[in-house]
Structure 1
Amino acid sequence: MKVACCSSDINVPCLGTPTTKFGSQEALVLLNKCSSFKHLKQVHGKIIRFGLSYDQLLMRKLIQLSSSYGKMNYATLVFDQLIAPDTFTWNVMIRAYTISGYPKMAILLFNAMLCQGFVPDKFTYPFVINACMAYSAFDFGRVAHALAIKMGFWGDIYVQNTMMNLYFKCENVDDGWKVFDKMRVRNIFAWTTVIAGFIACGRLDSARKFFEEMPSKNVVSWTAMIDGYVKDNQPIEAFNLFERMQVDNVKPNEYTVVSLVRACTEMGSLKLGRRIHDFSLKNGFELGPFLGTALIDMYSKCGSLDDARTVFDMMQVRTLATWNTMITSLGVHGYRNEAISIFEEMEEVNVVPDAITFVGVLSACVYINDLELAQKYFNLMTDRYAITPILEHYTCMLEIYTRAKLDEIYTSGITMEASHNVAELLLKSKITSIDDIKELIHKQYGDLDSSELGSDHSFTSSPPQLPSSSGMQIDVNQTSR
């Protein structure tokens, strides 16, 4: 047996010697104590030396741990060395591919399983269907559906729920409903799946009908309905449902609170947002990345940047979305230097930025009219982080470069449409060199026919529209606080 990443000269502390009794139980104990991938390989090496590679329970554990460390190549190596993996092991490997971001490999592995004569069980199909959803392989999902029926597993509620979820995912409401309608037993998960499915497909009224018909409701079903109203721009109805939820003595979870925070953002109500924040603190909700980011977004859009910054500073764990939201919030409120300072802090703690991050940073450069700084961050984005520029990046560079170098543009009658066309040309050309950007801008504005220039002098220094972390555009001036 060949395992390229396990060598005989590895120093394995406290693992015993070949003369020490070492069986499957002892190996499993060591695997459960693994704290790193390096440790995992050491234990695997001992498993090989003691001839325990036949034990599929150990191999499944190795696969699960390897995938949890992001080492799917190693997990594949372990699986490939099994002569006759049982169905349970096939299932573990299929699931590992899916949750590790390789759904296509999961589908191919299922094909191999069938071709090699191994028989799937009722657990195989939900894993495969989930892979189909992740890969948007809806046609193959239908094939899996047909196979599940043929193999006699269609009566399994887990298979039915997963299949129903697939149909709603591909916006096939009728087939999703048919699956639900034919279920002999419907648990609360099935009811919640059909409600969430109708909401996702824009059928909020139908979702509410099923919600009211549910024999019993839990926090997940309440939250799904509340969030549905928030996404449908009906925040008042979301709060009405929340009041009913409290009357029914159903304790909200973090997702419920986040939905309510977003409802406050939608309403532009700072007063109500503070009440929900206070409610979350009194009920013991931690200021994690999900809730914290929603609060930062709410406070910023409701006009209290001080509260947004306080939440940001209190957070122990921040995701990329948290950093992006704070940078954007500072930028749009006029604190451009602070926005750039937050970005530099973000780099110091080794958080890798994305395209949205640099929209905020470059917009801040536009506001402070610093061409040199904009060039620095554009180069940083393309060279160090290998981020492909998007339209908003080019719009920022076009704005700041023309302001600094081509002042005559502002008096020549160039329209917003003409400027937008140049930004789109930069995007189409996929230019990443500052010099090339300058050259193209000069060429395009030089080639413009004055007869094509309208009398619209509205080309001002307005920044590009920044992406919203919550996807909502709020006019707080039209809502009460």
Structure 2
Amino acid sequence: MFSVSQIHPFSSTPTSKTKFGSEEAFTFLQNCTSFRQLKQIHAKIIRSGLSHDQLLLRKMLQFCSTSGNMDYAALVFRHQIPYPLTFTWNLMIRAYTLNASPRQALLLFTLMTSRGFPPDKFTFPFVIKACTASSAFRPGDAVHGLAIKARFSGDIFVQNTLMDFYFKCGDAHSGRKVFDKMRVRNLVSWTTMVTGLVGSGDLRAARAIFEQMPAKNVVSWTIMIDGYVEDRQPEEAFKLFRRMQLDNVSPNEFTLVSLLKACTELGSLKLGRWVHDFALKNGFELDVFFGTALIDTYSKCGSLEDARRVFDKMQAKSIATWNSMITSLGVHGFGEEALALFAEMERQNVRPDEITFVGILSACLQKNSVSDCRKYFEYMNKRYRILPIKEHYICMIELYSRAGMLDEVVRLVNAMPVWRGQLCQWYC
């Protein structure tokens, strides 16, 4: 926790003889680049008697939110703004939600209403988003009631946020009800409805709403395409993509990744290569998201060479990229190469996760190497403090079973009380 006493004079602020009014303070805050500078500017604001200026303090709160210094923001809000304007309350509620503290945002809203500060139409979307982020169904329902009483339930931004909230909390009926009651809808309204219906598994209803949309953008097309992919209807996904092209809507990276998943579902290497070529011809970068999806598609469609070529061309790689390539090598019977790539991953100081070791142990399983399996099973905990998950145990038990090492199978099964019964059915 911070205190005002921690703040020191800002070295490049004007001297006490130089005028330092609200305009000068605001300029300094706009040019502020570090939290240390912010505290120094704050000290100057206090000494200059400007700490009553909510415009300046809001600018400080915004900086704290962006830089993740919510403790300092809370200190300023509580101790230097005795009568916050609604705009200031909104700013803090939104900041808590954006900084992964939605419950703090809800507590602040409760404090705001209990002290008699009136919420406005902007307050409710911020609070509803906090309810969504914390999966707080009952509070969200109560906030909806408050919005109705305050006569803001007809505001399009409130309605769009409410729809998103209800769908994400699993109440598709209420989400649909909000949509049906809307007198005016914008593109966000339609897209939120389609997204919610796709997410709730009602693809037929989602398609019906999609076809009614007065205008469709790349987001709405992609949501519908991905919905068909997830529903294991890859042919329908490609049909929709062709319609999207006829409508002259350019795809984005998410569209192409959905199409790659459709190629994987179809097992079509030819289509996978077509999507790759389409991306290159249309100026898409081989970044982490798209590149990793390509590796997965090429591998699952039977071309490890194409997968490795993409991997080697990628300038930036995430842990998911390394995991995908290591697993692909192991699945295709290149256990030694998978272990060599893992060694390269460590040399590049990329920290593995539990999925990495699923790939490593699977590679050892393909090699039928009990010694390597044991080595990496112990190594992941000793070196990286990664506790074994179900998939790790399954690899080990499968290998021990093949080798006829039934005592080791029993020992491992007994070490897993949660899955013991299920694994006994498979291996014992």
Kept in 2, the 8 Å contact 1:390–1:427? The answer is no
Name 2:6's counterpart in structure 1: 6
Paired residue type of 2:13: L
Higher share in helix: 2
Name 2:297's counterpart in structure 1: 298
Name 1:186's counterpart in structure 2: 185
Paired residue type of 1:3: S
Report the count of equivalent residues. Answer: 424
Of the structure 1 ranges 378-387 and 245-254, higher mean CA displacement relative to structure 2 is found in 378-387
Question: Shift of the alpha carbon at 1:380?
Answer: 5.3
Aligned-partner SS, 1:217 = coil
1:310-333: CA deviations, max 9, x gaps? Answer: 222333333332232222222222
In 1, the alpha carbon distance for the partners of 2:33 and 2:349 equals 22
Kept in 2, the 8 Å contact 1:133–1:166? The answer is yes
Paired residue type of 1:72: M
Aligned-partner SS, 1:121 = coil
Aligned-partner SS, 1:428 = coil
Give the alignment of 1:208-227 within 5 angstroms: 208-227=207-226
Give the alignment of 1:273-284 within 5 angstroms: 273-284=272-283
Question: Shift of the alpha carbon at 1:258?
Answer: 1.4
Question: Shift of the alpha carbon at 1:122?
Answer: 1.1
Kept in 1, the 8 Å contact 2:64–2:70? The answer is yes
Structure 1 residues 77 and 342: alpha-carbon distance in aligned structure 2, compared to 1, 3 A threshold = farther
Name 1:289's counterpart in structure 2: 288
Unaligned runs of 5+ in 2: none
Name 1:324's counterpart in structure 2: 323
Kept in 1, the 8 Å contact 2:179–2:189? The answer is yes
Match of 1:77 among 75, 78, 97: 75
Of the structure 1 ranges 319-328 and 88-97, higher mean CA displacement relative to structure 2 is found in 319-328
Name 2:405's counterpart in structure 1: 409
In 2, the alpha carbon distance for the partners of 1:314 and 1:48 equals 54
1:73-107: CA deviations, max 9, x gaps? Answer: 33333333332222222222222222222222222
In 2, the alpha carbon distance for the partners of 1:43 and 1:359 equals 51
% same residue: 57
Give the alignment of 1:96-245 within 5 angstroms: 96-245=95-244
For normalisation by structure 1, the TM-score amounts to 0.79
Of the structure 1 ranges 302-311 and 351-360, higher mean CA displacement relative to structure 2 is found in 351-360
Question: Shift of the alpha carbon at 1:181?
Answer: 0.6
Question: Shift of the alpha carbon at 1:221?
Answer: 1.2
Kept in 1, the 8 Å contact 2:4–2:43? The answer is no
In 1, the alpha carbon distance for the partners of 2:341 and 2:56 equals 46
Paired residue type of 2:56: L
Kept in 1, the 8 Å contact 2:7–2:42? The answer is no
Question: Shift of the alpha carbon at 1:4?
Answer: 5.6
Aligned-partner SS, 1:18 = coil
Flag as ranges the 4+ runs of structure 1 deviating above 6 A.
none
In 1, the alpha carbon distance for the partners of 2:65 and 2:376 equals 35
1:414-473: CA deviations, max 9, x gaps? Answer: 9xxx95x8655423389xxxxxxxxxx9xxxxxxxxxxx99x9x89xxxxxxxxxxxxxx
Aligned-partner SS, 2:6 = coil
Structure 1 residues 101 and 45: alpha-carbon distance in aligned structure 2, compared to 1, 3 A threshold = same
Name 2:415's counterpart in structure 1: 426
Kept in 1, the 8 Å contact 2:333–2:367? The answer is no
Paired residue type of 1:118: F
1:152-194: CA deviations, max 9, x gaps? Answer: 1011101101111111112222211111110000111111111
Structure 1 residues 293 and 44: alpha-carbon distance in aligned structure 2, compared to 1, 3 A threshold = farther
Question: Shift of the alpha carbon at 1:14?
Answer: 3.1
1:34-57: CA deviations, max 9, x gaps? Answer: 444444444444444444433333
Question: Shift of the alpha carbon at 1:209?
Answer: 0.8
Aligned-partner SS, 1:125 = helix
Kept in 2, the 8 Å contact 1:323–1:346? The answer is yes
1:328-354: CA deviations, max 9, x gaps? Answer: 222222333433444444445554433
Name 1:463's counterpart in structure 2: none
Structure 1 residues 141 and 398: alpha-carbon distance in aligned structure 2, compared to 1, 3 A threshold = same
> Which of the pair has the greater relative contact order for Cα pairs under 8 Å at 6+ separation?
1
Unaligned runs of 5+ in 1: 431-440, 442-452, 460-481
Structure 1 residues 351 and 31: alpha-carbon distance in aligned structure 2, compared to 1, 3 A threshold = farther
Kept in 2, the 8 Å contact 1:389–1:427? The answer is no
